[in-house]
Amino acid sequence: MNIMNEFEYETDLKLLGEVGRVSRDALDYSKHMIKPEMSLLEIASNIEDFIAQRGCSYAFPTNLSINEQAAHYTPSYDDDMIVKNGDILKVDLGARSADCITDCAITINVGNEPDKMIETCDKALEAAISKVRAGTTMQEIGRVVDDVVTLGGFTTIKNLGGHGVAKGELHAEIFIPNYDNGDDTQLEEGQVIAVEVFITTGKGYVKEGEEVQIFQKAQGMPRMREMREIAQFIDENYRTYPFAFRWLMKQFNSEFRIKATLNELLRSGALETFPVLVDDGEGIVAQSEKTVLVERDSCKIIT
């Protein structure tokens, strides 16, 4: 077997499977836990506590994107937003252990059974996964997703999609489209990928919003000592994984110091930001995602 993405040993793949079960269980937990009138902060805290109690770290802050938001919304430390009956809530989460990472997502019609849009998104994901095997091209996966979504009366989001997953790297190597983009890159046996479907009632594109609560640090330290303490904490606890502003507030409880540190890191090029992504036509967005291992004639679902 040609194991790609640095998952080179059976022990890695075994651990990846264990991490995948934690992620999958966290999604199942969220389905039953989330109720109308709950705050996003409570929901995120419950999910992240669940992952921690299962012995894993977070691959990234839990994304809780509502209605026209497609991705990257995680609550702030003082967020008072609640989910309402009928909200279309995307729950995107991941667990990690020893740099083995998984990524998965579901969409919940809060307080209700899944609607046609969610069912179409889930069908499109399953159709895409059925195509995953060594030799399948990116455009083949995208084409089958687009076919299912169009038949259901919705539109795929063209500037979002799936991605490779490597040890210690959440978004690696390849982009897996939700439409036929002409990419003839082939999957290879042993690759780990996140197949991620986004669909909308809108035009099929997302744009960056103003809200930013998720960050990722590269190498680099601020000059001032009071800022270096926060930067060092990020390095020691999150390394190059995405983290949330609210996580830093638990440790330092100083919005001013944290913002000053992050601004300095941003100016020096040592910080990446992840603005919330919103539908460019104010359409409602659904998401469905699973991490899988590419095999010779099929794939193995990890989450």
Of 12, 48, 68, 103, the active-site residue reads 103
113 is annotated as an active-site residue: no
Of 68, 146, 163, 264, the active-site residue reads 163
> What residues have CB less than 8 Å from 236, skipping those under 6 apart?
none
Six token digits for residue 29: 């937990």
Distance CA 13, CA 100 (A): 8
Distances (CA, A) of 287 to 19, 69, 82, 161, 248: 21, 10, 20, 10, 28
Distance CA 284, CA 287 (A): 10
Q: Is 134 helix (H, G, I), strand (E, B) or coil?
A: coil
119 is annotated as an active-site residue: no
Of 171, 189, 229, 280, the active-site residue reads 171
Of 92, 140, 146, 264, the active-site residue reads 92
* Angle between helix 255-267 and 245-252 (nearest 10): 130
Helix (H) or strand (E) holding 11: helix 10-33
92 is annotated as an active-site residue: yes
> What residues have CB less than 8 Å from 159, skipping those under 6 apart?
205, 206
Of 48, 146, 264, 289, the active-site residue reads 289
72 is annotated as an active-site residue: no
Torsion region of 244: left, alpha or beta (phi above 0 gives left; psi -120 to 50 gives alpha) = beta
Q: Is 177 helix (H, G, I), strand (E, B) or coil?
A: coil
Of 68, 146, 196, 264, the active-site residue reads 196
196 is annotated as an active-site residue: yes
Please identify every residue annotated as catalytic.
Answer: 92, 103, 163, 171, 196, 289
